Amino acid sequence: MRQNWIATFLAITLLVGPAAAAEQEQKQQAAENKAEVLEQKAADNSRSTPAPRAEAITQSEVQAVDPEGAAPLDDAITCLARSIYWEAKGKDSADMEAVANVVMNRLGHKGFPDTVCGVVKQGSEAKNCQFSWWCDGRADSVQEEVPYALAKEIARKALNKQLADRTKGALYFHDRTVRPDWSRTYIKTADIGLFRFYKPRQATAK
């Protein structure tokens, strides 16, 4: 009897494993497809209201994307979540949300790319990265699971247009312990946690 039970358990495990993996893959693909549509709409400035329920990325879908934090940065969710993670991990969720705000504010704005990955990687070809973590020469894979899960959830809300803009339209930010020369060129919009945020005096970003 015991041998029959063990055999049955092993058979179920073998069947459930591939099924769970397939479901995870379907959720990941669904999230990436939705994110592509949402970033296009955000870049076109054609939608300021939250995504309709059918178009919105769900919590389970976004967590299925890049579960180990080591995937290539070639989709909107991974690029946004990894940027939130590396710019503000270890800080309050408000700081992380504000970083997401800046990326989304730049998306499609004159002077910036019209994809999330383009925004995050901008300047790398000239070694003048807009987001320092992308050009610091260190590995970009995730080191802590919990902060990255939070970063993905914030990325989901940002892409769904469910995240309030704490920065008041900021396109730039820096750590409040420093004062870069470029900060004098822009208008300060907010101080959030350890960051200070700015927007251009004119409509065109530099």
Helix 76-88 vs helix 93-106: angle between axes, to the nearest 10 degrees? Answer: 130
Model pLDDT, residue 147: 94
- Quickly count helices (H) and strands (E) in the chain: 6, 3
Model pLDDT, residue 140: 73
Model pLDDT, residue 17: 67
Tell me the average pLDDT of the chain.
86
Task: Give yes or no for residue 32 having a pLDDT over 50.
Answer: yes
Model pLDDT, residue 191: 96
Residues 33-44: pLDDT tens digits?
999 999 999 998
Task: Give yes or no for residue 16 having a pLDDT over 60.
Answer: no
Residues in the chain, total: 206
Residue found by looking up tokens 């990265």 in the block:
129
Confidence label for 157 from pLDDT (cuts 50, 70 and 90) = very high
**What are the domain boundaries of the chain?**
2-199
Task: Give yes or no for residue 173 having a pLDDT over 50.
Answer: yes
Rounded to the nearest 10 degrees, how much is the dihedral formed by the CA atoms of 160, 161, 165, 168?
140
Task: Give yes or no for residue 86 having a pLDDT over 60.
Answer: yes
Sort strands 187-192 and 195-199 into parallel, antiparallel or unpaired.
antiparallel
Q: Alpha carbon of 131 to those of 7, 83, 128, 144: distances in Å?
A: 53, 8, 9, 20
Helix 145-159 vs helix 93-106: angle between axes, to the nearest 10 degrees? Answer: 40
Task: Give yes or no for residue 8 having a pLDDT over 50.
Answer: no
Model pLDDT, residue 10: 41
Q: Please give the average per-residue pLDDT across 62-77, as a whole number.
A: 95
Residues 128-155: pLDDT tens digits?
777 878 776 677 789 899 999 999 999 9
Residues 103-120: pLDDT tens digits?
999 998 988 999 999 999
pTM here is 0.86
Q: 78 Cβ partners below 8 Å, 6+ apart?
A: 65, 66, 71, 72
